[in-house]
Amino acid sequence: MSYDPLIQPHVAADTAVPDSYWQATAPAYPARPLQDKLQTEYAVIGAGYTGLSAALTLAEAGKQVTVLDANQVGFGCAGRNGGFVLKGTGRYSLSAIASKWSHPVAVGMRDEFARAVSLLESRVQNYKIDCDMQYGPYLKIAHNVKQAANLKRTQRINQFEFDSKETYLAPPALAEILDIKKAHGAVKQDGLALHPLKLVNGYAAACEQQGAKIFSHSPVTGITSQPSGYVLHTPQAEVHAERVIIASNAYSPKKLHPLVDNKQFPVQSSILVTSPLTAEQRVATRLTQPMTMMDTRMMKYYYRVLPDGRLLFGGRGAVNGSGKGDPASQARLRKAMLESFPALASASVDYFWNGWVSVALDSLPRVVTDSSNTLGYAMGYCGSGVSFAALAGTRLAQKMLGESLDTSLPVYNSELPRYPFAGLRRVALHTLYAWAALAE
């Protein structure tokens, strides 16, 4: 049975994992369901990037930590995404952050985005996590002339106001790097990609190495407050905790706690992976090196060359949940891929899967604790969470440990806004997708 976060009350322990390229190329993390009632200082709900990063930070500080996941480690966003490591999160550019808040705030966010990538790299090195890291160009590609002009203007702003090292590529310069059709220019910068499921498995192993306990296939169905802290209810047993971190993101139960209920919108993204490209196909497209790419459409397509020579190609999915992915989404992705790279017409689709992305109402994630600093959450990354989600988990743990966060930054100084008329979210999404199709 598939999981739809707006229909099912929570992820079931026996929900099947997707038939993804990641699942096929990484062993599942050992399962350990919760069996008995236990007491802990910190309970973390969700064994993805956010939750495991929070748990690792707490365990490194000598705290007693218990992580609970409804399914296997990396079942949700952490094991389904495209593996892009980006210096950013949410949907605001640095110039947009400067316009909405201030230039110093934008500089502060830029620095946090850089710290997120550095944190990921340092943990991969320190804990010897083998996650197929690939360094290479990252291209943001204009899908029309108007967007090419916008990219060029933004590149200049980022260079002079934010010390960015990105460069603008006019169509002839882009063609020297990549033979892609319907492209009108690009911005190029350093990029990084990895195997997302191997990364989350590595985080889990690091947590247990530091003494944290991880219980999988143990869905939290409710949280009850009590004078000494909280009780987390699961089908098997209860967990009594002094402090709780909610890190379930788009895979959060429909109703878990007022602090998070109806404060994010789970939206589906779909990904296909081709058969290994032939030598002729790689030469024809110039997809001959590690490379990550994304276009400028409202509903973006993103793609990358995998270590074994396959092409990963992703974009929006269906509005409602589906098991292995609906045929229409797969056909839409393949059509878009061939419009960009017609030389891949004979490449088969070997893998196709879906994942839920947590979208914040105002397109900005939050890292928040309640007034007692004993219950907190981090979520709403809008599909850009591989690096920032781990930093968010670390910041949330640091705040619960009594450290101060930079409250000049909007991700740390306010709660996620609640969705008004939450029951109509998918009606609005249908309308947005229809409008986006016409706009392209």
Compute the distance between CA of residue 239 and CA of residue 220 in angstroms, rounded to an integer. 9
Residue 397, pLDDT > 90, answer: yes
Pair of tokens at residue 416: 């996620």
pLDDT number for residue 90: 86
Q: Is the pLDDT of residue 323 over 60?
A: no
Rounded to an integer, the average pLDDT of 255-271 is 92
With 90 as the cut, is the pLDDT of residue 322 above it? no
The token pair at 209 is: 């190495």
Tokens of 251: 């895979």
Rounded mean pLDDT, 244-265? 94
Q: What local confidence, expressed as pLDDT, does residue 6 receive?
A: 82
> How many Cβ atoms are within 10 Å of 286's Cβ, its own excluded?
16
Nearest Cα neighbor of 197 from 415, 369, 389, 25 is 25
pLDDT confidence bin for 2, thresholds 50/70/90:
confident
- What does the mean pLDDT of the chain come to? 93
Q: Cα-Cα-Cα-Cα dihedral of 67, 72, 77, 83, to 10°?
A: 110
pLDDT tens-digit map of 30-66: 999 999 999 999 999 999 999 999 999 999 999 999 9
- Dump pLDDT digits (tens) for 426-435: 655 555 455 4
Res. 421: pLDDT tops 70: no
Q: What is the pTM of this model?
A: 0.95
Q: Say how far apart CA 314 and CA 365 lie, in whole Å.
A: 22
- At residue 436 the predicted structure's pLDDT band, cuts being 50, 70 and 90, is very low
Give the pLDDT confidence score for residue 423 in this predicted structure.
Answer: 66
Give tens-digit pLDDT for 199-214: 999 999 999 999 999 9
